[in-house]
Amino acid sequence: MQSPALTSHAHLSEAAPVFSPDIEQIIKWRDSSYAADLYIAAVSWLDLFTYLDGRLVTEEELRLHFSLRERPTRTMLRLFQSWGLISNESGWLHATASAVRYLSGNSADSIASYIATMKYKPSVRELYEILRQGGPNTWHVERGVTKSWDALMQTDEFADLNTRGMEERGRIFAPHLAKLLDCTNDTSVLDVGGGSGVYSAHLLMHYSSLSATIFERPPVDQLARTCLTDRNLYPGRAHVIAGDMFVDPLPRDASLHLYSHVLHNWGPDKVHLLLSKSFDSIASGGRIAIYSCHPNDRGGQPAPAAEAEYSVLLTTGYEGCCYSVDDMRTMLESTGFQEIDYHKSICNRSLIVARKIA
């Protein structure tokens, strides 16, 4: 019998077409990996939709009833609004008809028990604990010792893996960022927490008069030097400074500060700290550029499902979440930045740019 690998091209062309996912779907499968677990936790451990059956409640009332923390609760509600399970009408939350019919214990058509058969999965239980305690899940357990993402990033093995993973992601997003972010009038960019430097590298390739400084803590700083050397940008047009962005002063007088996939890892207090440090050190008239996933759910409209699902991952594994456009506007304005612009990008990412007015 002839091997399938040796069949003729004519025979292959007659085969049924094979689904070929695009890059947005390939990234979404990774970014949405915790959304289903949060859904199962809400249905099973909280019995959320039985509680919402026939009720109009505020977010605060819901949190108080279940003893939940604010950050994961907002992530959960954004997810369920995007999925059509919860509606928000002028701040009043209620379950949609489908959620009541299939997920309320009061309904004859309920399948909540079927959903709840998965409640003892470790990841589902952990999501429930995050809802109640607010802290991110641990990333690694070895011989009874747990480590957070931040602690793992200070080990050589995980820092190398994570930085190379973010480098691969950056190859998808960085070219688009370079098209969205006009650096014609910029002379220097400070890439804060810039990882491998992939985003700055693409800006440098688009703007010949631009120089870049990557600000990263060890051991990632050395990986950045390697990646930039491979692109023939280091040590000529790109520089790398080792430092902790939360502790050490930021280099002064760059015309542009870039935070790409950085701020969403951290809680609001740390985001405010970084924005304040940028405002103090950036050149007069300079700009700050924030590239991430920013759900645009103004006016009570649900955020796109992919954005809400990605926020679950960030809420689970990190201190932060996907901050909405309004969240970022509020934090930027409170820091002193003005002229805030929003630009949609690919794969549910977006760019927010603001200026330090002299």
For 111-129, how does the pLDDT look when each residue is reduced to its tens digit (9 = 90+)? 999 999 999 998 999 999 9
pLDDT over 80 (residue 11): no
The C-alpha atoms of residue 197 and residue 241 are separated, in whole angstroms, by 12
94 alpha-carbon distance from chain centroid: 27
**The domains spanning 31-135 and 152-355 adopt the same CATH topology:** no
Query: pLDDT digits over 71-81, tens only?
Result: 999 999 999 99
Residue 141: band (very low, low, confident or very high) from pLDDT cuts 50, 70, 90 = very low
**How high is the pLDDT of residue 156?**
77
Q: Hey, which bits of 164-207 come out as E strands?
A: 188-192
pLDDT over 80 (residue 44): yes
Buried b (16+ CB within 10 A) or exposed e, 265-274: bbbbeebeeb
Which helix (DSSP H) or strand (DSSP E) does residue 173 occupy? Answer: helix 156-180
**How high is the pLDDT of residue 298?**
64
Angle at alpha carbon of residue 90, lines to 86 and 92, rounded to 5°: 50
The C-alpha atoms of residue 335 and residue 340 are separated, in whole angstroms, by 12
The C-alpha atoms of residue 325 and residue 103 are separated, in whole angstroms, by 31
**How high is the pLDDT of residue 317?**
83
Was domain 152-355 assigned CATH 3.40.50.150? yes
CA distances, 279 to each of 193, 282, 286, 337 (Å): 16, 6, 9, 7
The C-alpha atoms of residue 301 and residue 154 are separated, in whole angstroms, by 40
Residue 299: band (very low, low, confident or very high) from pLDDT cuts 50, 70, 90 = low
**How high is the pLDDT of residue 283?**
93
**How high is the pLDDT of residue 142?**
45
Mean pLDDT score across all residues of the chain: 89
Query: pLDDT digits over 83-117, tens only?
Result: 999 999 989 999 999 999 999 999 999 999 999 99
3-state helix, strand, coil in the chain (%, to 5): 50, 15, 35
What CATH number belongs to 31-135? 1.10.10.10
**How high is the pLDDT of residue 14?**
55
Query: pLDDT digits over 158-216, tens only?
Result: 778 778 888 888 899 999 999 999 999 999 999 999 999 999 999 999 999 999 999 99
Buried b (16+ CB within 10 A) or exposed e, 124-163: bbbbbebbeebebbebeeeeeeebbbeebbeeeebbeebb
Which two tokens mark 336? Answer: 């002193």
Contacts of 12 (CB under 8 A, 6+ apart): none
**How high is the pLDDT of residue 137?**
56
**How high is the pLDDT of residue 7?**
47
Domain boundary assignment for the chain? 31-135, 152-355
**How high is the pLDDT of residue 335?**
97
Q: How many helices (H) and strands (E) does the chain have?
A: 16, 11
